[in-house]
Amino acid sequence: MGGCESPNHKGCYIYWQTGIMETTESANLEKKTALGFKAFFFFKYMGQGVLYPFLVLYLNGKGITGAELGLLLTLLPLGKVAIAPVLSYLCDLYRIHKPMLITSMFFNTIGGFLLYRSEDVFASFVFAMVLITLGEAVGDTLGITLALDFLAPRNRQTDYGKWRLWGAVGYMAGALFLGLFVLDSNIALVPLVFTLANLAAGLAAMIHPRASAKKPQDWLGGLKILKEVRGFVLLLVGAVFSGFTFNVIQSFYSVYMIELGAASWMVGGGVGLQVLIEILLSANTKRITDRIPLRYVYLSGFLVLPIRTVLYLLNRNPFTGLMIQNLHGFFIFSAFITGILVLDRVLPGEWRATGQSYYVSAVVGIGAMAGSFFAPLVYDMSGMPALWIMAAAVGFTGFGLVTWATKILPGLASEKTEKGKV
């Protein structure tokens, strides 16, 4: 400090006061930023908590036919596959993450409102779902990218878990609100709550810091990471298999519970309360990853995922089915909290959004589309037991591929040698 060891030294008072002001401003900025991201995740996932579990019920109430429903439901995962990588690539290349995120929330808000106000005309539902697809394509990825872009220079990436857990709280709040209280009589509230939640998320996104100004030097780098990062493509293939099983569970859990004779509150409760373990784990992300190698934390949820399907196969009690559904949080924590930290470790920072979009597209895009296509066929032909057997086989395959990939991914293969990771 150039001899300024205390503010009592002659000529040092201004120096010390300036330092205190800068420290205070930095602390206030971090608090404001953290609050903005927590609010964003809360409202963003609240919207998903009312839309995703109850969209089929809402559209069925509008007289949508089976073929029309299949087309509308295909749009969301198709957006993850076809649109998300392109938009994420452009965001990384031109550093427009924040404007694109706000635009995404705008699309969701308008799409949700049109879905709420749509007459019983199929074309109007298609237009509304196209807007929502555009909004959902990169909304999650860009929110995560901006959060990590702020935390990485401070070496505090594990704080992402504490911020992201508010998304789980929002999801639970939305799902429980509709599933436990007003679902039977007010299913029409689904798109309206989605609209208001995304409007609030867009307002929260306005106070996010912008992405770092460092642009990639190689404009093809976002494609080259598929070849140059050893094990990344294998990880994506494993993620597709696991995404298949995840989609089967998400899509057929309510059907499974009804077949077991579960009361309606159990179905809604299972959807809403399934995030409790996710919240608990997310709140302790740093503590967990400081004690257990990141690779093992990551793999644990991919192993629990197919084990869930085996438990569903063996279970005949609806209350036990409700308890099994709570294992949901292990996969979410592994795939979308720990998994984001894994990607942040092994991929170039300037291609953060692009790498994440590849990963998300694999899990909830390609994997989900495959699950949406094959699961109804198996269920119609052979029933729920055969569906769980198929989901278990695919899920264990995904776990094996992801395990193989993490053995060769840079930064994970040598993890045991890192300080504090033994």
> What confidence score (pLDDT) does residue 313 get?
97
d(CA 306, CA 310) in angstroms, rounded, equals 7
Element (H, E) at 102: helix 97-117
In a domain, 339, yes or no: yes
Tell me if 125 sits within 8 A of 62, measured CB to CB. yes
> What confidence score (pLDDT) does residue 7 get?
54
Q: What is the pLDDT of residues 127-183, one digit of tens each?
A: 999 999 999 999 999 999 999 999 998 889 999 999 999 999 998 888 777 766 545
Kindly state whether residues 203 and 239 are assigned to the same domain: no
**Domain end among 214, 240, 265:** 214
Kindly state whether residues 188 and 255 are assigned to the same domain: no
The pTM is what? 0.85
Kindly state whether residues 120 and 260 are assigned to the same domain: no
Q: What is the pLDDT of residues 235-287, one digit of tens each?
A: 999 999 999 999 999 888 878 888 998 876 777 666 667 788 889 999 999 99
Kindly state whether residues 376 and 293 are assigned to the same domain: yes
Q: Which residue segment(s) compose the domain that 311 sits in?
A: 227-422
Element (H, E) at 400: helix 384-408
Side chain identity, residue 144 = I
> What confidence score (pLDDT) does residue 326 get?
85
> What confidence score (pLDDT) does residue 420 get?
41
> What confidence score (pLDDT) does residue 187 get?
77
Kindly state whether residues 289 and 209 are assigned to the same domain: no
The CATH number of the domain holding residue 410 is: 1.20.1250.20
* Residue ranges in the chain modelled with pLDDT below 70: 1-25, 179-186, 264, 268-272, 413-422
d(CA 340, CA 186) in angstroms, rounded, equals 36
In a domain, 21, yes or no: no
Kindly state whether residues 285 and 350 are assigned to the same domain: yes
Tell me if 305 sits within 8 A of 399, measured CB to CB. yes
Indicate the number of domains in the chain: 2
C-alpha closest to that of 208 among 162, 163, 150: 150
Kindly state whether residues 303 and 408 are assigned to the same domain: yes
241-279 in b/e burial notation, b at 16+ Cβ within 10 A? bbbbbbbbbbbbbbebbeebebeeebbbbbbbbbbebbb
